[in-house]
Structure 1
Amino acid sequence: MTTAPLSPVPARDSRLVPVLIPVAVGVAVSVALGVYGRVHEPTAFAVNVAGFSGPLYVKAWLATLAAALAVVQLVSAAAMYGRLPVRAPSWTGTLHRWSGRVAVLASVPVAVHCLYALGFQAGAPRVLVHALVGCLFYGAFVAKMLLLTRHELPGWALPVAGGLVFTGLAVLWVTSSLWVFTTLGLTL
């Protein structure tokens, strides 16, 4: 019995190949963070900064900085992709890159504290959503950064990755900083 030769992958499907590896790495990062957070014995303390009343406020304010910079990311990306009614200034790309870098730097101590001091918790719905989205956020971030190095991406790949990162950070801010500020107040 003879078999028919395999047909080549259609061109539209081959454009997905550069997306698959970064997405797979992002998924692996998400799972690794979740597993680490779940099996690690929480220490109850990891990050504190002078001038704040405690680690909870350090996290809340750093996450607020990251969220504000994510809004800068969203607006600058919209400008670069021609989605705003005004022409993007020449420095928009630089603003986009640096606001993203600072946002990630602000989020790292928050993530370290969450993973190391608190672990992956699921006691309340807000906490479970926060833990799941936190893992997914960093996976999406890693995938987006890897996608930036790929050529021949489908036109939707970077905007979708950026949108996932932005949405993840927004959900993280609502389930953490907004909760802290509305429950405990805006104090430092």
Structure 2
Amino acid sequence: MCEWANRIEYSLWTQYCDEGRRFGHMTTNISECVNSILKRVRNLPVCSLVKATYGRLAELFVRKGREAEAQLGTGQQFSQYLVKCIEANLKTARCFTVTVYDRDNSEYTVAETTPTGSFSLGSYRVSLGSQTCDCGYFQALHFPCPHALACCAYSRLTWQPYVHEVYRLSSVFGVYRLGFTPPILEGF
């Protein structure tokens, strides 16, 4: 297991190397996550606990792999989670006023206004080039926040290049491509 984990980029699974990149997941309390998964089997002997964990993980990989493969087969490029987030962010971005400060470096300010446009609710600096926004969501989640989407729309740019690879279905499918060896049956 250690060899497998060490082949994965440390910034994707270790908190001390993540440089603030959480990809929308809470990762600080992993023990609570494991406890919730093992709730029904945690009082079993260790051997049974390992077998149950292995079986559940194999089932999860098969199910998630099929889902990702089906979505890829329909031509989808991004995970459904990302698409829902982008759609929600696009709705929010409709009431923003965008000002370009440096077209070559994609530097903007975005003013959030009321739906009537009568007054400003706040202003944010956005840099599409460095994928940052003063709200912090662009850098934390690694996909465009509503402010960045407003800048993309204003400049007639697509938002897809500003999405991290981890949200692409090809990456998701790559994770679940791993196969499992059936356990050795006892008593035969």
TM-score (norm 1): 0.32
Higher strand share: 2
Larger RCO: Structure 1 or Structure 2 (Cα < 8 Å, ≥ 6 residues apart)?
1
Higher helix share: 1
TM-score (norm 2): 0.32
